[in-house]
Each structure stands twice: as structure tokens, then as C-alpha cells.
Structure 1
Amino acid sequence: MMLIAALPLALAACNDSKTAAPAPDAALPAAVAAPAGQNWAEVVTATPEGGFRMGNPNAKVKLLEFASLTCPHCKDFHEAAAATIKSKYVASGNVSYEYRNFVLNGPDFAATVLSRCQGPEAFFGLLDAFYADQAGWIEPFGKLSKTDQEALGKLPEDEQVRRMAELGGLADYVKLRGIPRAKFDQCLSDPAQAKAVNDLRNQAVNEYKLTGTPSFIINGTVQEGVFEWRDLEVKLQTALR
């Protein structure tokens, strides 16, 4: 049974933001040379576990984030941290950064499938777009009529995601970002794509025991109580020493 049937259409809450002292400056280890003609930040691959990893696969520090495209705290973290993670840490070859989706609701599920379906090369660009435009692309889903919502519930499960995405305007949104209507339909009708998203959520809950987003794992260890970049950077710098 697909997870989407159990997910709410309405947005779900994510972790509360917390405050902490700013991260101290710390010298990074010497950079690790990337393959000829490449920058580590441009090396993106799909991982066997189902995520997308940016950087040196043999980096000393492996940073893993589980996050939701509809979580406002995930958006805040992405805005505060993504550029620095990429330019300062990943580009050095000392840190790899992997993103795995932890979906919280129906709109999140649809957007996640669409961003992942385009493959590793497009994933992080689409991730940037979905976070930058979060309020705008989410808003139409909150305005769906009761009639539309009831009609969605009567559709076969394998048709619900695509129809919900249509009603929420995602077809037009992603078309402007390089995903034509035929690809939109294909991605949202593909059971393998839906299963991959389901599997990631189950992994977050059952394997890592995560309860909210964003959540971070460094070299296999869950970082308890860490939700903001200032907190996470301290942990990264400690791991790099």
C-alpha cells in the first residue's frame, strides 16, 4: 500500500527551531583533489540507500540530512547553510553531503517525486527552487475545495498523487523549471518513484528513529537536538579535527 494514502493533504509540523552560540572558526584539513576538470560540489550521485549525494564519496566526514520540502524549518536551514556547505565543506573534498527526503504530507510527496524523478544532475537545482519558492507553490494546496478533496479520496490510490498535484498547480510550476507535462505525468504515475519515497520515510522512522525534520546524521551518528546551521557547523568542525 502506498504511503500517500496515509499522509495528510494539509501541512504537517516539523522540528521547532532552537538557538545556540555561533560556531567557532576552525581550520579545515587540506583540500582533497577532485577528479580532473571537476569540482567536488559538481559531483552528484544517487546513493544505494536512496538519497542524492554531493561531493567526495570517500570524504572524511559524511553528512546526511533527512528533510521535507514543505517544512519551513528545513527551508530556513537550506537558506542559511546550503551555499556554505557546498562552497566551504563539500568543495574541499573533506565533507560529502547527502539529502534524503522525509515526506510529511501529500503536497510534499508530489513535489518530492517530481524533484527526484529527474535524476542526480537536476536534483539539487530543483531542491533549491522548491525551498526558495516554498510559500508560493504550497499555497494553492491549502485552497483546495472540500469537493476537490472528497473527489481525490475516491480516486484509485495510484491516481491520487498526480491529480492532487494537478489541482495544486504543480504541473505549471515544474514546467517553468524544465519538466514538461509528459514527464510530470510519467513521474507521478510511476510506482517505482512512489516506492522509493515511501522507503526513505520508513528508513527515517524505523532505522534512524527520526521524529521530525530537518534531522542530521554525521558519519552514521544521529545529531540529537541539532536543527540549525550554527549548531551543525560546530559538529562538522569537530568531526573534521
Structure 2
Amino acid sequence: MIPTRIPFHRHVLAAPLALALAACGGEESDMPANPGEPITAIEAPEGTSWTETVTVSDDGGHVLGNPDAPLKLIEYASHTCGACAAFATQGKPPLKRDYISTGVVSIEQREVFLNTFDVVLATMIQCGPPERVHALSDEVWGNLQQVMSGVQQNGEAIQAAGNLPIEQRFVRIAELAGFLEFFAARGLSADEARICLSDANAIETMVRELDALAQEDEVTGTPTFLLNGNRVDGTQWGAVEPALQNAGARPAE
């Protein structure tokens, strides 16, 4: 089911509830491709690649690709959302290979917080340098069942951790859920993660600001895609690719 609204930020900062992986999104669009006038590819600066270029937008999202791309795709996504994981594993590879690589398309990732675990995971993903955000997000989505297995196994202790002061709460949840070990194996040390997870002011600011963006764009489910400000009618690659082609994107030759 698509949630009828994105939870208010105070809800996701409260004690965690028992988790059922979010069955988000909806049916994939069957809209046929109707390619528009093609946009000429834009070369990356010498020695660089658009598929490895990450910048932070004015709204705090992480943009993969040419920051000045004429086609700007925004994805509102939750790290505990199964439909988001499906797009990351099935749609992100061809998106990067065929479209972002041309410099014509960029994708900006914006967090949606459906539960406390989204807050913990997003904090850890953003704890390192910006250029690692998309890669770490894809690691989480590509291994979602493994990532969340500790939550299922330690639900009672994690629920109790929700009563700790906020400076301790997210660190303890990450410890109990096994998130620290998962991220340590991917380059974020446990000590670095603990520092980020104990920064209550930074976490509250992140959640408040990104929740406000989702509310402003009337996001009611994840993933939600906007292309140059217009909502894409669908949640998976089969809907996103036709929208890109209709706007003038073409696969890399």
C-alpha cells in the first residue's frame, strides 16, 4: 500500500515501531515511449566521469551526474522501502550507463523518512563524503534483507532503545541492528558512525528540512520521481525511461 502521507518528522525521531519493510510505490506505468527531440550529449571535464560526479544541491539532496544537466530527475526514496530497492537494483544501472553518462540527465536523491530506521540509515550514509552517498545507498538497497535482518532479530531491545536520550538512541539502534558492522565493511568506521549518530541537532535538522521538501512536493509514496519539476507517472524504470526519452534523452552510443 502507498502511505497516504509522509510521516511528520517528530514521528520518525520517536521510539521505533516494529518494522515491516515498506511496500511502497505503485504499479509501473505502461506509458509507451514517444521520444522527443534528442538533446546532444555533454562531455564531462577531462579526467572525470558524470557517473562518478556527486554534488549537493541547494535543497540538500545528493546529485549524481552533471549538476547542470538539462534533464534533472529527482527521486524521493526511503531506505527501508522495497520498491526503492527494486529501482536501485533494476533501474539505477541502466540509468547511469545509458543516460547519466551522457551528461544530459542527473538524478538527485532526497530522503523520505517512513520510520526511525530510515533516519539511522540516512545519517550513516551521509556521514562520509558526498561522493559516497549514492554508492552506499545502493549498497543498502541491494542488500536490504540482510541490512534489516538485525532489526527483525532484536526488535524488543531496539524498541527499548527508543527510550534513550536522542544523543544515545540512534547509536544504540545501529549497534543492535548490526548497521555498524554493515557500514564498517563498506568504509565507514564504527567510530565515525557513532559521532554522526550522536549529533542530535544535525539529525533533527536533516529530518525537518527533508520532510518539508517532501511535503512541499506532495510526496505520498516512495519512490516518487520528478523530472524537471513534473511528476513521473510510475515508480520503476519502465516508467522513468520513457519519461526521459520523451524529454529528449537518448542512450549513450
Fold conserved (TM > 0.5)?
yes
Give 1:121 shift: 1.6
C-alpha contact 1:23 1:230 (8 A) present in aligned 2: no
Name the counterpart of 2:173.
164
Tell me, in whole angstroms, the C-alpha distance in 1 between the residues paired with 2:16 and 2:36: 42
C-alpha contact 1:40 1:93 (8 A) present in aligned 2: yes
Tell me, in whole angstroms, the C-alpha distance in 2 between the residues paired with 1:215 and 1:145: 29
Name the counterpart of 1:234.
242
Name the counterpart of 1:79.
89
Tell me, in whole angstroms, the C-alpha distance in 2 between the residues paired with 1:7 and 1:82: 30
Q: Deviations over 1:219-241 (max 9, x none)?
A: 01222x41111111111111127
Name the counterpart of 1:130.
140
Give 1:72 shift: 0.5
Tell me, in whole angstroms, the C-alpha distance in 2 between the residues paired with 1:129 and 1:28: 33
Secondary structure of the corresponding residue to residue 13 of structure 2: helix
Q: Which deviates more from structure 2 when the two are superposed, residues 154-163 or residues 225-234?
A: 154-163
Corresponding letter in the other structure for 2:189? P
Give 1:150 shift: 4.8
- The alpha-carbon distance between structure 1 residues 115 and 149, as it changes in their structure 2 partners (threshold 3 A), is closer
C-alpha contact 2:28 2:238 (8 A) present in aligned 1: no
Name the counterpart of 2:125.
115
- The alpha-carbon distance between structure 1 residues 124 and 149, as it changes in their structure 2 partners (threshold 3 A), is closer
Tell me, in whole angstroms, the C-alpha distance in 2 between the residues paired with 1:215 and 1:176: 30
Corresponding letter in the other structure for 1:143? Q
Name the counterpart of 2:3.
none
Tell me, in whole angstroms, the C-alpha distance in 2 between the residues paired with 1:83 and 1:44: 16
Give 1:43 shift: 1.5
Give 1:21 shift: 5.6
Taking the TM superposition and a 5 Å limit, the aligned residue runs for 1:206-221 are 206-221=215-230
Taking the TM superposition and a 5 Å limit, the aligned residue runs for 1:32-71 are 32-71=42-81
Q: Deviations over 1:53-73 (max 9, x none)?
A: 011122111000000111011
Tell me, in whole angstroms, the C-alpha distance in 2 between the residues paired with 1:7 and 1:201: 18
Pair 1:183-2:196 in alignment:
no
Give 1:178 shift: 0.9
Could you tell me which runs of 5 or more consecutive residues in structure 1 were left unpaired when the two chains were aligned: none
Tell me, in whole angstroms, the C-alpha distance in 1 between the residues paired with 2:240 and 2:26: 15
Tell me, in whole angstroms, the C-alpha distance in 2 between the residues paired with 1:117 and 1:160: 17
**Structure number with higher helix proportion:** 1
- The structure 1 segments of at least 4 consecutive aligned residues displaced by more than 6 Å after TM superposition are 24-27
Secondary structure of the corresponding residue to residue 75 of structure 2: strand
Q: Which deviates more from structure 2 when the two are superposed, residues 87-96 or residues 192-201?
A: 192-201
Give 1:48 shift: 1.5
Q: TM-score, normalised by structure 2?
A: 0.86
C-alpha contact 1:64 1:99 (8 A) present in aligned 2: yes
Name the count of aligned residue pairs. 238
C-alpha contact 1:60 1:240 (8 A) present in aligned 2: no
C-alpha contact 1:47 1:53 (8 A) present in aligned 2: yes
Corresponding letter in the other structure for 1:154? N
Could you tell me which runs of 5 or more consecutive residues in structure 2 were left unpaired when the two chains were aligned: 1-8
Name the counterpart of 1:152.
161
Name the counterpart of 1:198.
208
Q: Which deviates more from structure 2 when the two are superposed, residues 10-19 or residues 51-60?
A: 10-19
Identity %: 32
